[in-house]
Amino acid sequence: MGQSDEVARALLEALSAETGHKISFRRAPQRIGGGFWAQIYGFELDHAPAAFVGPLVLRVMPDAVAGRRETIVQRWLADTGYRTPSVLASGTAPGLGAAFMVMPLAEGRSPLTGLRLGPALFRLRPILKTLPAILVDAALQLHACEPAGLRVLLDDAGVEASELGAAPYLAALEGATSNQSSGFDLLRSWFDDHRPTPANAVVCHGDLHPFNLLIDDRGTVTVLDWTSATLAPREMDIGFTAALLRCAPIGVPGPLRPIIARITTHLATSFIDSYRNTTEIDAPAVEWWEALQHARCLADLAHGRLTPGSVVGPLHPFETSARAMTDRTRRLTGIAVVLPERVRIGM
């Protein structure tokens, strides 16, 4: 039995138990595009309740705690009216990773769908005008959600709010210190010495970038992928998104790199300025969080290079962005990070 067959069998059993219906597949689960962390399948059902009619998505998550947090956040946000897919079923089941979630297939496409670099760089001009505003609107609506109810749900599920925010990212720096790399111990101290003044926590996405957005034909934006969702100051989302825009994983030939760097820097600064024009933010705190995002990504990359089979493999976006992230980290913190060489399988 192949992996898809095992997933199909486990999913039917889980959904039949969840719904009380003896359901079957109109279209069996097939892998579709998605992130590096979770496995994502598209499928359709027959003989299912009305909520399960139409194209559906199965998200299989490898970590039970992270999967439970993601599910709680997405379900709560959808229930409050935020534009994210509703959670139809979730839980744990043999054959469906450490946690799974079923949701309707969201309509739309990424704002960067179909973009091609090279001679058609002029096509970036409309994106430069619209993308920062789209991201700001998604962030503002999210940060306006009152987090008290979500905090209660997380506490009831045993997810400590004190373990969210910066803590897991700072811990990643400690885990990256090794004889094969350098700079992470200095970064850990730098973040402690420059920690921003505590601020009110809001609901943060933690990974808000163009490929986690879908825009339909009516211009409605749906936000996906709540794996990194947390309760933290709004500057976290602003800094993290600015980092993802500024050091976007765009692989181009050397002569084009300065052009792409100017474009991505413009996107990042436009995003920050557009948010600042609407809501007051702490500029040094935004830079602190931006630096933390770069440092965390580099720490994950350092670990991945030394761990064959890691999620952060040779084709991971962090590899594409490594040079830009190390340069930006040095500019923000004054600390040079040296990454290890990737361990070759069989050596």
Q: What mean pLDDT comes out for the span 170-187? A: 88
Mean residue pLDDT across the chain: 90
How far apart CA 190 and CA 166 sit, in angstroms, is 14
How far apart CA 242 and CA 225 sit, in angstroms, is 18
Examine the pLDDT at 123 and tell me if it is beyond 80: no
For 285-306, the pLDDT digits (tens) are 999 999 999 999 999 999 999 9
Please say whether the structural domain 3-104 has been given the CATH code 3.30.200.20: yes
pLDDT band, very low/low/confident/very high, at 120 (cuts 50, 70, 90): very low
Contact 42, 30 (CB under 8 A): yes
The single residue listed with the structure tokens 């089941």 is: 93
- Where residue 309 falls (left for φ over 0; alpha for ψ -120 to 50; beta otherwise) is left
Angle, vertex CA 84, rays to CA 299 and CA 165, nearest 5: 35
For 188-238, the pLDDT digits (tens) are 999 999 999 988 999 999 999 999 999 999 999 999 999 999 999 999 999
How far apart CA 129 and CA 199 sit, in angstroms, is 31
Per DSSP, the three-state class of 344 is coil
Looking at the chain, which residues constitute the CATH 3.90.1200.10 domain(s)?
121-333
Per DSSP, the three-state class of 298 is helix
Per DSSP, the three-state class of 59 is strand
Q: Which residues of 134-169 are buried (b: 16+ CB within 10 A; e: fewer)?
A: bbbebbeebbebebeebbeebeeeebeeeebbbeeb
pLDDT, residue 250, reads 82
Please state the three-class secondary structure of 171-227 as a single string.
HHHHHHCCCCCECHHHHHHHHHHCCCCCCCCEEECCCCCHHHEEECCCCCEEECCCC
How far apart CA 206 and CA 243 sit, in angstroms, is 11
For 16-48, the pLDDT digits (tens) are 998 888 899 999 999 997 667 899 999 999 999
- Where residue 326 falls (left for φ over 0; alpha for ψ -120 to 50; beta otherwise) is alpha
Contact 96, 60 (CB under 8 A): yes
Looking at the chain, which residues constitute the CATH 3.30.200.20 domain(s)?
3-104
Please say whether the structural domain 121-333 has been given the CATH code 2.60.40.10: no
pTM equals 0.92
